[in-house]
Amino acid sequence: MIKTEALKFNYNNQVSFNFPDISLNKNENLLIIGSSGIGKTTLLHLLAGLLQSNSGSINLYGQDISKLTQHQIDKFRGQNIGIVFQKPHFVNSLTVKENLQLAQYLGNKKDDSRIVDILSSLDILDKENKNPKKLSQGEKQRASIAMAIVNSPKLILADEPTSSLDDENCERVIKLLKKQASDFNAQLIVITHDNRLKKHFKKTIKL
């Protein structure tokens, strides 16, 4: 169960956002859509516990993360939330596999067989010993999805995963995200301005 109520956030007391309430049951996915500057990435960062709301509550799977300390939030995120950032976040001095092992370490997990399973399912197992900088854009995106799901999260958050893609690759990426969420028993929330994604979601919130 994912539930938010009366979420508010402001930057430097100048830019203020009031977000609509979210209520998602188990196995439900959500598309949050809105134009630039409306607070989409801010909302994603609030849901991930990367930002602290000024008021309101965020209840994820029975835990109100707005009441946790930063250390507790970091631990909760590592165990329950996977994030596909708009720009991939890799340690470029490490290989793809080592990046995934680092993500597991930060989430207090270690399971090389899961890394193999995920990279295989994303069709990039042959890239496991490559430096992320040497991957194609599409391969980087798949590796970024692998990073998000390597710790078996209950929730995958994706920030503008299709914004710079043509129609064909847009379809491929959103289907890939939905399949990974389904295959690994996670919920998916996509935050975007891309109206092409509406047909892929039963539940949509417009900011």
Q: Is 126 left (phi over 0), alpha (psi -120 to 50) or beta?
A: alpha
Domain extent for 7: 2-91+154-206
**Is residue 158 domain-resident?**
yes
Mean pLDDT of the chain: 92
**Is residue 65 domain-resident?**
yes
**Is residue 137 domain-resident?**
no
For residue 51, what pLDDT band results from cuts at 50, 70 and 90?
A: very high
**Is residue 22 domain-resident?**
yes
**Is residue 59 domain-resident?**
yes
pLDDT digits over 57-99, tens only? Answer: 999 999 999 889 989 998 899 889 999 988 888 999 999 999 9
pLDDT digits over 138-183, tens only? Answer: 888 889 999 999 998 999 999 998 877 889 888 988 998 999 899 8
- Residue 131: the pLDDT is 94
The rounded distance, in Å, linking the Cα atoms of 166 and 182 is 24
Q: What are phi and psi of 81, to 5 degrees?
A: -125, 135
User: Mind spelling out the 3-state secondary structure of the chain?
Assistant: CEEEEEEEEEECCCEEEECCCEEECCCCCEEEECCCCCCHHHHHHHHCCCCCCCEEEEEECCEEHHHCCHHHHHHHHHHHEEEECCCCCCCCCCCHHHHHHHHHHHCCCCCHHHHHHHHHHCCCHHHCCCCHHHCCHHHHHHHHHHHHHCCCCCEEEEECCCCCCCHHHHHHHHHHHHHHHHHCCCEEEEEECCHHHHHHCCCEEEC
- Under 8 Å between Cβ of 66 and 58: yes
| Least trusted range by pLDDT, from 19-33, 47-61, 74-88 | 74-88
If one counts the domains in the chain, the total is 1
**Is residue 102 domain-resident?**
no
More confident: 163 or 21: 21
**Is residue 110 domain-resident?**
no
Token digits of residue 88:
């991939």
**Is residue 85 domain-resident?**
yes
Residue type, 90: F
For residue 194, what pLDDT band results from cuts at 50, 70 and 90?
A: very high
- Residue 156: the pLDDT is 96
For residue 8, what pLDDT band results from cuts at 50, 70 and 90?
A: very high
For residue 120, what pLDDT band results from cuts at 50, 70 and 90?
A: very high
- Residue 108: the pLDDT is 83
Which CATH number goes with the domain that contains 77?
Answer: 3.40.50.300
For residue 11, what pLDDT band results from cuts at 50, 70 and 90?
A: confident
Decide if pLDDT at 9 tops 90: yes
